Amino acid sequence: MTARATETRYAAYWAVAGIARPFTVLQFLRDRREADRLWETTHPVQLAGLGSATHLSILPLVEQYAANGRLATEPGVSYLVSVDGKKILFDVGWNRHNEHPSPLLRNLEALGVSVSELDAVFISHLHLDHVGGRECQSGRTFALSARPVELGGIPAYVPESMTHPSARVEVLATPGKLAEGVASSGPLMRAIWLTGPVFEQTLLVNVAGKGLVMIVGCGHPSLDRMIEQARVVTGVPLYGVVGGLHFPVTGSRVGRGRQNIIGSGKLPWQRITQEEAREAAALLAGLDLGLVALSAHDSCDWTLGVFEEALGDRYRTVKAGEAIVVA
């Protein structure tokens, strides 16, 4: 069966599922109204004294693609964000097969990084491919591997209620400064059919002489809202966007077609279109950015090509083990 036929079959299946279970559609519509209401009525103020950093390095630890064959790959996300020596673990991947050591731990070792070097954890949103698996998502926690990994009480900045046995969890309900030049955008809500609403935050780093770098997990709240939130919260011109933007237009790497139906922020018979991906690429191309690095974990290869064509040498595909340095 061709990829197009598979996608058509799954679209038809989920459309029938939505019609057969109208309560899921009604809940989605309620969630979407609430997300729009929050966006229209919540007015964050610019953070005082954000400051700036002199050096930013983003080392992808878990991604769909890798820079070399020594590193494990999976459709999840985890980045080591180093800001002037402070090391922040951004998301923890999926660990799809519940392994120990997990792909994250194996890649950390291969790249010469120890968990003991971490200063903080930052969780973008409570989805299984960002918190360490389905059990972590349902248990409202995160895990670096199938067996416990001691985090020694370091802070874990999360966008909604979560727990962890050895990290000091801090729920960020609003934008906040985390370190000199580093901030959370605060969580933005997006309605997701069948799985319920998601609250996603981005990590914002103001690099001296460059501008603001926005690090994104999946981009569920939509690109325009995330950019506007970052502008209001920091007052700093956007220099770069790194991470996932959720444009699985022509196919999905997760669940044989489910990701671009269930996780799209639309009803099951609606789809993310090629035109929407082109508009997002054009939006970033028109902002005169210095860097756009797109994750393949939640965008198809066709989408990656669209962004590369629009952005030229400012674009790169995020790969595990290939550091992105802004200094």
Residue with tokens 């874990």: 156
Mean pLDDT for 274-285 is: 96
pLDDT for 24: 85
- What's the whole-model pTM score? 0.94
Q: What angle do CA 203, 205, 151 make, to 5 degrees?
A: 55
Q: Is the pLDDT of residue 140 over 60?
A: yes
Q: What's the mean pLDDT when you consider all of the chain?
A: 93
Buried-state track 35-57, b at ≥16 Cβ within 10 A, e below 16: beeebeeeeeeebeebebbeebb
Mean pLDDT for 154-164 is: 98
Q: What angle do CA 36, 7, 21 make, to 5 degrees?
A: 55
% of the chain at pLDDT higher than 70: 91
| pLDDT tier for residue 1 given thresholds of 50, 70 and 90 | very low
User: What amino acid occupies position 17?
Assistant: A
pLDDT in tens, 59-88: 999 999 999 999 999 999 999 999 999 999
In the structure encoding, which two tokens stand for residue 165, read together?
Answer: 């046995």
Structurally, at CATH architecture level, domain 3-326 sits in 4-Layer Sandwich (3.60)
Give the 3-state secondary structure of residue 228.
helix
Give the 3-state secondary structure of residue 246.
coil
Residue 66 DSSP label: B
Q: Is the pLDDT of residue 115 over 80?
A: yes
Round to whole Å and give the CA distance between 10 and 4.
10
Give the 3-state secondary structure of residue 121.
strand
Q: For 238-290, where are the alpha helices, taking DSSP H only?
A: 259-262, 274-285
Where do the structural domains in the chain lie, given as residue ranges? 3-326
pLDDT for 19: 60
Q: Which residues contact 209 (CB under 8 A, 6 or more apart)?
A: none
Round to whole Å and give the CA distance between 165 and 150.
8
pLDDT for 2: 52
Torsion sign, CA atoms 263, 264, 270, 273: negative
pLDDT for 18: 58
Residue with tokens 């981005």: 202
pLDDT in tens, 197-231: 999 999 999 999 999 999 999 999 999 999 999 99
Buried-state track 279-293, b at ≥16 Cβ within 10 A, e below 16: ebbeebbeeebebbb
Q: Which residues contact 252 (CB under 8 A, 6 or more apart)?
A: 258, 259, 260, 261, 300
